[in-house]
Structure 1
Amino acid sequence: MKTFQITKPDEAIQQALIDKINNLTKPKGSLGRLEELALQIGLIQQTLSPELKHPQNILFAADHGIVDEGVSFSPKEITWQQISNFLHGGAGINFLCRQHGFVLKIVDAGVDYDFPLGKGIIDMKVRKGTRNYLHEAAMTIEEMDLCIDRGAEIVRQSYAEGCNVISFGEMGIANTSSSSMWMTCFTGIPLEKCVGAGSGLNTAGVQHKYRILQQALDNYCGDHSDEDIIRYFGGLEMVMAIGGMLQAAELKMTILVDGFIMTNCILAASKLYPEVLDYAVFGHQGDETGHKLVLNAIGVKPLLDLGLRLGEGTGAICAYPIIDSAVRMMNEMDNFAHAAITKYF
């Protein structure tokens, strides 16, 4: 597997950041989470005047072999059909990217469909969907490594384009199943609490999904290492996102984390490199069963709770204006000394 040089942000600048935040013309702590975000982003960028430049949302898409077991409300062909919708600008992620000035990149990590050339899709296909992990590993070690490499490559391209804040999204029918498997394996939370409705299963559907995933977990005969769990139960788009997240952390970019699937991706990434979490801002708590539990297991506070469960990066981008406000606070508010205002805290 590709190795990354990820270090915790240097804390030598931390007190200077705190002093600047505390001396802005406001009561100490009165801007709450904005102050916490400003400190985090200042540490990531190692500056008292952080900037958010050329934001991008990387959307990885792939199919999942486990879909053959009826674990998803949506049929498999929705994966490629929705990618066509992305290309035409008609999806949820499209209007949010337009609204907040994000570049949207769509990456074919492993969709079981042959897209025509020259349509704006970045072809990083590793294979046409994963294998069915009810019976065998979703991918080989070589395929997992290739996903990590290609996810990192996309982020390096974004960085070269001037991007320093990046979000990740996904499209892949049945990827909540793979996320639930990672969640139970990496947190110890019982699988039943990790399994939800996905794109719309009813109670009977959720119970069937749970039974299939429990059987897959019972059938697992790997070595229980972090890498083996990632490859055995993961999706190609999810592992590619891990590679992207790790590369972003190495490049000291701010990572905006979306919903249930991307939260489990950064959870998996943190099992390989715990320091990746220092670069992550968690956009929202979604409506998928298990999301709150996995956020609590990581020990993080999301910015929003809007009942979202679309994925694609939508929740992360909805939270972006709050992060932008934190940076503007640092750069646009006056301080007590310059404004000739007596400190009132």
Structure 2
Amino acid sequence: MIQVNIPALDQQAGKEAEAYLTTLTKPVGSLGRLEELVIELAKMTGTHKLDITPPGIIVFAADHGVTREGVSAFPQEVTLQMVSNIIHGGAAINVFGRQIGATFQVVDVGVAGEVREKEVSSRKIRPGTGSFLSELAMSREDAEQAVEVGYSEAKRLMENGVKCLIVGEVGIGNTTASSAVLAAITGADPATIVGYGTGISSSQHERKIEVVRESIELHQPDPQDAYDILSKVGGLEMGAMAGAMLAAAENRVPIVLDGFICTVSALLAKLIDPRVADYMILSHQSAEPGHLTAIEQIQKEPIIQLNMRLGEGTGATVAFPILQAAVNMINEMATFESAGVAGKEEESTATLS
């Protein structure tokens, strides 16, 4: 089991950023959330001289035995096919990742089939989880190893210069596992958090709710123990995502959360070490109904709302340019003094428009 040492936020750096923002050629607070984001980033990184490029994207791929229970619109082999699509640059995450100049890595942490592309980091723990309707999703040792894989993969990216982390996932059945994990952590009624995922029918949706409810009743996961939850009703990629977040926070690297599955994985990371949440920024609110419950638990405000529900890290990647805009603002905008513009105390003779 990994041991992490996550530092406290640098409150002084946040104060310095806030003070510097008041010297820029604009009315105080006029850039709203962008200014709040700058202060958050300063606390995370320990300086108001911000740099979040290059961003790093890690997509963790794994399969879920629960797909055997009729909860998905797509067969399990689609996971393997999507890994290939991503490697060949054809997925949405590739399109958006290229736009922001991201460093990119795909990690096989539990795909059921054989991944042949050499560009994929092969860290397979087991070929998919068990169907948690009738058995454990994985052993506790598997859960611990999944977190360790994510931690080491993210650490390697940061050693190669990544300054902001986006984690995504690919795996048919992962919204069912995420719903089960969220229900385990919050005690929420599955009927209120289980969504339509990849576009299932109404009858499949009812089945999905039933599977989540029965699985929680069968396994009784401990809501305070991330590894117990993962082993009983979780997914290998979810554990890896949590581990990657822990590594980022330990290194003062901001984490841009994606949608439902990513935010639920963030809750697992928070159970392992609550300080990890200090380094998280929520990109968007997913159309998945359970995401709102997860957001309430993680206590973060989404930057955008575009009714996305794809996963892969796409929402976080789309939101990243807004973070970059905030960084560019504090780094490049002129101060009143440097621009020769009169400040507020001289408004009687000069007014900002």
Could you say which TM-score interval applies, normalised by the shorter chain? over 0.9
Structure 1 equivalent of residue 199 of structure 2: 200
RMSD over aligned Cα, in angstroms?
A: 1.4
How high is the TM-score relative to the length of structure 2? 0.94
Q: Does 1:292 align with 2:292?
A: yes
126-135 vs 5-14, greater mean Cα deviation: 5-14
Structure 1 equivalent of residue 79 of structure 2: 79
Report matched runs for 1:60-99 at 5 Å: 60-99=60-99
Distance 2:166 2:178 in 1: 18
Structure 2 equivalent of residue 109 of structure 1: 109
Q: CA deviation at 1:222?
A: 4.7
Report matched runs for 1:273-312 at 5 Å: 273-312=273-312
Structure 2 equivalent of residue 171 of structure 1: 170
Distance 2:191 2:181 in 1: 13
Q: State the Cα deviation string for residues 139-172 of structure 1 (Å, max 9, x = none).
A: 1111111111111111111011111111000001
Partner letter of residue 77 of structure 1?
A: E
Structure 2 equivalent of residue 127 of structure 1: 126
Partner letter of residue 17 of structure 1?
A: A
User: Is the CA contact 2:14–2:40 (under 8 Å) kept in the aligned structure 1?
Assistant: no
Report matched runs for 1:234-313 at 5 Å: 234-313=234-313
Structure 2 equivalent of residue 186 of structure 1: 185
Distance 1:224 1:257 in 2: 22
Structure 2 equivalent of residue 210 of structure 1: 209
- Other structure's SS at 1:59 match: strand
219-228 vs 230-239, greater mean Cα deviation: 219-228
User: Is the CA contact 2:184–2:221 (under 8 Å) kept in the aligned structure 1?
Assistant: no
109 and 287 in structure 1: CA distance in 2 versus 1, 3 angstrom threshold: same
Distance 2:222 2:286 in 1: 32
Gaps of 5+ in 1: none
Distance 2:239 2:25 in 1: 45
- Other structure's SS at 1:61 match: strand
Q: CA deviation at 1:339?
A: 2.2
- Other structure's SS at 1:309 match: coil
Distance 1:222 1:8 in 2: 30
Q: State the Cα deviation string for residues 50-104 of structure 1 (Å, max 9, x = none).
A: 1112211100000011111011111111100111111111111111111111122
Q: CA deviation at 1:189?
A: 2.4
Distance 1:113 1:216 in 2: 25
User: Is the CA contact 2:51–2:327 (under 8 Å) kept in the aligned structure 1?
Assistant: yes
Partner letter of residue 153 of structure 2?
A: I
Distance 2:20 2:222 in 1: 49
Structure 2 equivalent of residue 152 of structure 1: 151
Structure 2 equivalent of residue 137 of structure 1: 136
Distance 1:10 1:70 in 2: 48
User: Is the CA contact 1:197–1:206 (under 8 Å) kept in the aligned structure 2?
Assistant: yes
User: Is the CA contact 1:87–1:119 (under 8 Å) kept in the aligned structure 2?
Assistant: no
- Other structure's SS at 1:290 match: helix
Aligned residues: 344
Distance 1:212 1:188 in 2: 15
Distance 1:225 1:99 in 2: 39
Q: CA deviation at 1:7?
A: 2.4
Structure 1 equivalent of residue 231 of structure 2: 231
Distance 1:145 1:316 in 2: 26
